[in-house]
Every structure is written in C-alpha cells, then in structure tokens.
Amino acid sequence: FSDLSLLTVDQIDVCISCSILQNKLVLKIQKSLQKLGYSVWIDNSPNTSEKVTEAAIQNCKAYIIGISEEFNRSIIFYRRVETCCRLKKSILPVLVGSKHSWPPAGFLAGLEKKANFVDGLQNLDFSNDATYEDLIQNHLNKQLKTIMNMTKLFPQ
C-alpha cells in the first residue's frame, strides 16, 4: 500500500522507503512480503505528508530502506533515518539500485552509531532475478521474523 488510508497505522508490519526510480523492484518486494503475510506500506510518494510518514514509521515493526545512489543522496533518505533513530526502529538497508559502499559517506556516518541497522542485507542485490526469491525467503524474511518476535517480547 502506498496510501496509508488503506491500512490503519497499527496494522503496518513493514515500511519501505526508496527512490521512485526503484518503484518497480520495491513493488515486487512488497508483493513478496505480502505473500508471506506481512502488511507493507511504501513511502515513495512526494505527496505523502511528513505527519503520515511519521505515523507509519512510529507504528511499523521494521523499516526497510532501499539503498540506491539516488535515494542515498536525497534529503528524504536522511530524514527517514533520523526519524527511525528517534523512534528506535530497526532499519534494514536493502540494495535496490547500483552497487556502492555502505554506509554512505557524510551525514549518515554520524547517525550510524545511533541507528539500529540490521546487518547482513546491505550487500545482497535484490535486483538480480536469479537470486531474488532466495534473498526474500532466506534473508529478508528471516530478519523480519526476528524483528517481529522482538517487538512481541518488547513492545515499544
């Protein structure tokens, strides 16, 4: 869902932020996660208000950031990471664009110590069709299950 009105904020398991340029791949990830039973909200519309986005982040259990050169250079990327830090959300960095080093240099380097980045996904290329299903099932789903179990044990 990219329209939050289709979900109440307490129904969101996973939020995904990415560049609009990676929308096709992110929609594919959304559908895969929905098949696994997760409710997913995509934050990639320039028309979505900060208030709506903050409510979605606050109530989600996990936050996926679609790593790409375009998104990592955008102010929205940094705002989302800052919001996740403030709200103590687990952030799963997922490669959806061209390969580059992680974490991005500059602003994020200071936030990296404050942020709860879940390690292990940032170097896996979700745009590779040959390995996509394995990455969803054996990597992303495992990480999400761990986070979901932790939020049940220690609700915020």
pLDDT by residue (tens digit) across 90-132? 888 887 776 655 666 655 555 666 667 777 676 777 877 888 8
**Angle formed by the axes of helices 75-86 and 50-59, nearest 10°:** 40
Residue type, 46: P
What pLDDT score does 6 carry?
Answer: 47
Q: Which residues pair with 14 in a beta bridge?
A: 40, 62
Residue 17 pLDDT more than 70?
yes
Please compute, for residue 8, the number of CA atoms within 13 A of its CA located in the half-sphere on the CB side.
2
Query: With pLDDT > 70 as the criterion, what percentage of the chain qualifies?
Result: 72
The owner of tokens 């896996």 is 124
Residue 156 has pLDDT above 70, yes or no: no
Of 143, 129, 128, nearest to 64 by C-alpha is: 143
pLDDT digits (tens, 9 = 90+) for 43-75: 876 667 778 888 888 888 888 888 777 777 778
Best CA proximity match to 57, nearest among 28, 21, 90, 19? 90
What is the C-alpha to C-alpha distance for residues 58 and 12, in angstroms, rounded to an integer? 10
Which residue type occupies 12? I
